[in-house]
Amino acid sequence: MDQSQWRRVNRALMTGGLTVFFLAVLLMIQLSKPSIPVASAQTLPTVFFSAASVDFDENAGTVQVSVARSLITATNTVRVNYNSYFGTATGDGGDYTNVSGVLEFPTNVATRTIAITIIDDNIDEPIEFFYIELLNPVNATLGTPSRIKINIVDNDLPAQATATPGGVILLDAYEPNNTLREARAVGVGGFDMQRHILAHR
């Protein structure tokens, strides 16, 4: 081998050595990296109602309840189903309209709303309620509260005995022992019921 051949061999050996060295360094860097975190329940966003209960007037019409999610920058779109179910209020158009569906929270979306329709009936009644629950979350877990109680505040007056001029009051209806058999016409200016009953005792 002449001198130039030796130089080529040396260069080749050095290049090979450097390549092996850099490969070894790359391998060490790779091995020293922390392993990729596996998504666990702790790192998933939660979805939950903004309140545990809410009051609406019976004549409120169509109203909204709000659902929120945490970790809004999470890259996976969060989905959650919702469903209404009855309490003392009756669904399907009795006291409210049933609802069910899916809410979607893309990245950076913090809240979604569910629209519900309250039915204004003519019945005097106590506060009635129903529920909406969240279920089957995707890329999320259920937070608290995952159920909201919706109170419907009645707006109807109690039924009242009304007496119109010229009408008839059956006094017997006011007698606990039902001994009085009398009907009296009500005149303009009213009728003194108290005095009339006392006069018949």
Contact flag: residue 155 with Ca ion (CB under 5 A)? yes
Shortest Cβ 113–Ca ion spacing (Å): 23
Provide the greatest CA pair distance for the chain.
Answer: 148
If the CB atoms of residues 57 and 133 are measured against Ca ion, the closer one turns out to be 57
> CA–CA separation, 153 vs 126, rounded Å?
8
Shortest Cβ 131–Ca ion spacing (Å): 16
> CA–CA separation, 7 vs 121, rounded Å?
101
The 3-state DSSP class for residue 27 equals helix
Shortest Cβ 130–Ca ion spacing (Å): 11
Contact flag: residue 117 with Ca ion (CB under 5 A)? no
Contact flag: residue 57 with Ca ion (CB under 5 A)? no
**Partners of 168 in the β-ladder:** 185
Shortest Cβ 118–Ca ion spacing (Å): 9
Contact flag: residue 121 with Ca ion (CB under 5 A)? yes
If the CB atoms of residues 58 and 80 are measured against Ca ion, the closer one turns out to be 58
Shortest Cβ 83–Ca ion spacing (Å): 21
Q: Which of 142, 154, 171, 196 binds Ca ion (CB under 5 A)?
A: 154
Alpha helices in the chain (DSSP H): 3-32, 193-199
Which string of b and e fits 106-119 if b means at least 16 CB within 10 Å? Answer: eeeeeebebebebb
Sign of CA dihedral 136, 139, 141, 147: negative
Q: Which of 63, 91, 120, 186 binds Ca ion (CB under 5 A)?
A: 120
Contact flag: residue 156 with Ca ion (CB under 5 A)? yes
In the region spanning residues 74 to 113, those forming contacts with Ca ion, defined by CB under 5 A, are 95
Per CB under 5 A, which region of 2-10, 109-117, 155-163, 167-175 contacts Ca ion? 155-163
If the CB atoms of residues 103 and 152 are measured against Ca ion, the closer one turns out to be 152
What number of residues does the chain have? 201
User: What are the backbone dihedrals phi and psi of residue 146, each rounded to the nearest 5 degrees, phi first?
Assistant: -100, 5
**Site size for Ca ion (CB under 5 A):** 9
If the CB atoms of residues 121 and 175 are measured against Ca ion, the closer one turns out to be 121
β-pair type (78-86, 100-105) = antiparallel
Structure tokens at 196: 């009339």
DSSP 172: G
Residues within the interface to Ca ion (CB under 5 A) = 58, 95, 120-121, 123, 125, 154-156
